[in-house]
Structure 1
Amino acid sequence: MAIDLRQLFVARQQQLAIQLRTARAHIRHPGDKGAVSETEWLELLRSFLPSRYCVDKATVIDSRGGTSESIDLVVYDRHHSPLVFEQGGFRFLPAEAVYAVFEVKQTLDAAHVAYAAGKAASVRRLHRTSAPVIDIRGRTPAKPPIHILAGLLTTDVGWVQESAAGQLQQHIEGLDGDHLLDLVCAADNQGFAVVRDEQGTALQASSPDTGLIFFLFTFLQRLQQLGTVAPIDFGAYKASL
């Protein structure tokens, strides 16, 4: 018997949306409400992404001592870049290991778009090393660092439904490369993917009831297109000792 995949994922989207709405309705303290939302998104990504990807709240560092702001969700690699520091409940990840960064907020609006863009820039501006590797093919030259994906994850949309895509595009178009958001999702509403080419910036939007499904599969597609992060040059970190 065939499985209705759309129905299956719509049901999962509704489940997450209910969890996020419940937290929003019954938890009064903004910090606690935000922490619950982060946990829900964290568990969703951990359960959906292939096991090669790790997901955690973290601060990103580089070999020159640079640090990002605290990032709600970092999707990172532990194969080529297994260097992870934890101290006092804080997790520090090397910039080379990062595939994507996301900020979690309650509502999609202009202020939160700008906030997430600033967080993304704090990661993308870090120095990233690369090292050659030796495998069955012999010595493979160092590869350039990947484009770090960035996005904003919310529960709902602060704009009027009919104008949400236009409002978002207006705020996205003004962002430079370091601040660019690639993916935006309102779990109780729509998902959006940003596409930039020689023609400019375009916004792809889901239907109102498939935002979460759209986000998850677009994210997987973008990760596939990135390939694997560049192997870390451990010598650069060693030199800082």
Structure 2
Amino acid sequence: MRTTKHFDYVVNRIASAKKNADSLASGIGHHGIAGEIREIAAKECIEPFLTQSYQCGTGKVIDSLQNLSDQLDLIVYHRKVAPPILVGRDLGLYPVECVRYVFEVKSTLNAREIKDANKKFRSVSKLLSFPTKGQDGSVKSGPLPTTVLLAFSTDITSSEIERYKKHTDDEHPPCTVLCVLGKGYWFYDAASNSWYGLESNDDYPPFFEFSMFITGLMNTLSSEETSIRPFYPGSYINVDDIILSALNKPTLTKYEV
């Protein structure tokens, strides 16, 4: 089976990252450290394929109403739209309007890890992007980030997507992309309320499922690179509310020249 140089580059990166992560995490005896090793490995495999305006970080996603998500392993955000509040070089609070993907990275996927990822992704679904208030007082929200559950291995040999659905009772799944190395790649389409994807098998090259995910990620980021919805990040700094609350006056006063 003939492959392209780009395909080989993707596969070589994930193969090398998985090998190194497996070696470092083996026998380390600390679940948290092993998880961080996987997160670093995942970042190394995703960051090279981001388009110019996007970067990777970790932390929480926030909306202009000050709602916060849970802590997330990896966040792909658009730096040109709104700057995050960075606690460290890559750790911070990211305005939901500038976030395109959020990841939960698992060493070995099992039922408990699925439930944990769903909990964190539900916290993202409660955020309001581009909120607008209707005449009846209701608040409408814009699009939210794609939620990705990425696992380096699994504890089952049966269908991964069927297990995920079994442990997910939500009307719409909190996870919208599932990629399990050596098992398969699936994405959820809300319009048809259906999952699409494939199970890995010997007919495909190694890590073909990850290549499919990276293809979708690159296509999405490239198409949105020059078509980001206009956004005014000043809504996160509520100076208008402060002035109105303190003075009960219009936000700005006109002064004669």
TM bin (shorter chain) = 0.7 to 0.9
User: 1:93-108 counterparts in 2 under 5 A?
Assistant: 93-108=94-109
Unmatched runs of 5 consecutive residues or more in structure 2: 133-140, 243-257
1:153–1:186 contact (8 Å) kept in structure 2:
yes
Are residues 198 and 68 of structure 1, via their aligned partners in 2, closer, same or farther at CA, if it must alter by over 3 Å?
closer
The answer to whether residue 112 in structure 2 is matched with residue 111 in structure 1 is yes
Q: Which residue of 1 aligns with 2:171?
A: 176
Q: Which residue of 2 aligns with 1:149?
A: 146
d(CA) in 1 for partners of 2:237, 2:93: 16
Are residues 107 and 26 of structure 1, via their aligned partners in 2, closer, same or farther at CA, if it must alter by over 3 Å?
same
1:38–1:104 contact (8 Å) kept in structure 2:
yes
Of stretches 23-32 and 220-229 in structure 1, the one that deviates more from structure 2 is 220-229
Q: Deviations over 1:30-60 (max 9, x none)?
A: 1111111111111221112222211111111
Aligned residue pairs total 223
Q: Deviations over 1:47-93 (max 9, x none)?
A: 122222111111111222211111110111111223x2123674111
Q: TM-score, normalised by structure 1?
A: 0.79
d(CA) in 1 for partners of 2:170, 2:39: 25
Please say which structure displays the higher CA radius of gyration: 2
Q: Which amino acid aligns with 1:233?
A: Y
The answer to whether residue 181 in structure 2 is matched with residue 214 in structure 1 is no
Q: TM-score, normalised by structure 2?
A: 0.74
What is the CA-CA distance between 1:18 and the residue it aligns to?
Answer: 0.8
Q: Deviations over 1:208-233 (max 9, x none)?
A: 42122122112223445666543333
Q: Which residue of 2 aligns with 1:55?
A: 56
Q: Deviations over 1:17-37 (max 9, x none)?
A: 212221331422111111111
Counterpart selection for 1:190 from 183, 194, 201: 183
d(CA) in 2 for partners of 1:64, 1:109: 34
Are residues 236 and 216 of structure 1, via their aligned partners in 2, closer, same or farther at CA, if it must alter by over 3 Å?
same
Q: What is the DSSP-based 3-state SS (H/G/I as helix, E as strand, rest coil) of the residue aligned with 1:218?
A: helix
Q: Which amino acid aligns with 1:56?
A: G
Q: What RMSD in Å do the two structures reach over aligned CA positions?
A: 2.8
What is the CA-CA distance between 1:201 and the residue it aligns to?
Answer: 1.8
Q: Which amino acid aligns with 1:176?
A: E
Counterpart selection for 1:201 from 194, 198, 208: 194
d(CA) in 2 for partners of 1:14, 1:234: 39
d(CA) in 2 for partners of 1:3, 1:163: 29
d(CA) in 2 for partners of 1:80, 1:204: 31
Of stretches 119-128 and 65-74 in structure 1, the one that deviates more from structure 2 is 119-128
d(CA) in 1 for partners of 2:6, 2:74: 27
d(CA) in 2 for partners of 1:157, 1:104: 12
Q: Which amino acid aligns with 1:94?
A: P
d(CA) in 1 for partners of 2:176, 2:198: 12
Q: What is the DSSP-based 3-state SS (H/G/I as helix, E as strand, rest coil) of the residue aligned with 1:63?
A: coil
Are residues 220 and 70 of structure 1, via their aligned partners in 2, closer, same or farther at CA, if it must alter by over 3 Å?
same
Q: Which residue of 2 aligns with 1:137?
A: none
Q: Which amino acid aligns with 1:170?
A: K
Are residues 71 and 44 of structure 1, via their aligned partners in 2, closer, same or farther at CA, if it must alter by over 3 Å?
same
- Give the share of equivalent positions with the same residue, in percent: 23
Q: Which amino acid aligns with 2:23?
A: T
Unmatched runs of 5 consecutive residues or more in structure 1: 132-143
RCO higher in structure (CA 8 A, sep ≥6): 1
d(CA) in 2 for partners of 1:9, 1:191: 16
d(CA) in 2 for partners of 1:185, 1:175: 19
